[in-house]
Amino acid sequence: MTKGVFKAGNFVLQNLEAFIWIAALLFFVVSPTDSAGHFTICPLKLAGFEYCPGCGLGRAMILQLHGKITESFSMHPLAIFAFVVLVGRIIIVFRNHFSFLKRINSTV
């Protein structure tokens, strides 16, 4: 039992970046789509700038994951690209991990 828990914890730590991106996407899936009372952590917006090229990307991804593609595109056109990049990065992290394990096991 302890050995299995240790292996699972080790797997999560070795692929922490992928699990962080998965958690972010899951957070977007359960987030509400309305922007009333919107909270921002954008440093440019908090500093008082009116325009930020990245603002709206997170909300656009939330809309996209809720199936509101046209609203998402009108809020930020790069949301679809950002989603593809995140999913691609998750796949790359896991693929690299398993190919590394395969190389180690073939040399032992």
Written as one string, the DSSP assignment of 58-95 is HHHHHHHHTT-HHHHHHH-TTHHHHHHHHHHHHHHHHH
The pTM of this model reads 0.75
- Domain positions in the chain are 2-107
pLDDT of residue 79 exceeding 90, the answer is yes
pLDDT band for 86, please (50, 70, 90 cuts).
very high
pLDDT of residue 87 exceeding 90, the answer is yes
Say what the pLDDT of residue 65 is: 93
**Radius of gyration over every alpha carbon of the chain, rounded to an integer in angstroms:** 18
Mean pLDDT, residues 90-102? 87
Work out the mean pLDDT of the chain and round it to a whole number: 84
- Token output for 26: 């899951």
Mean pLDDT, residues 35-62? 78
Say what the pLDDT of residue 38 is: 63
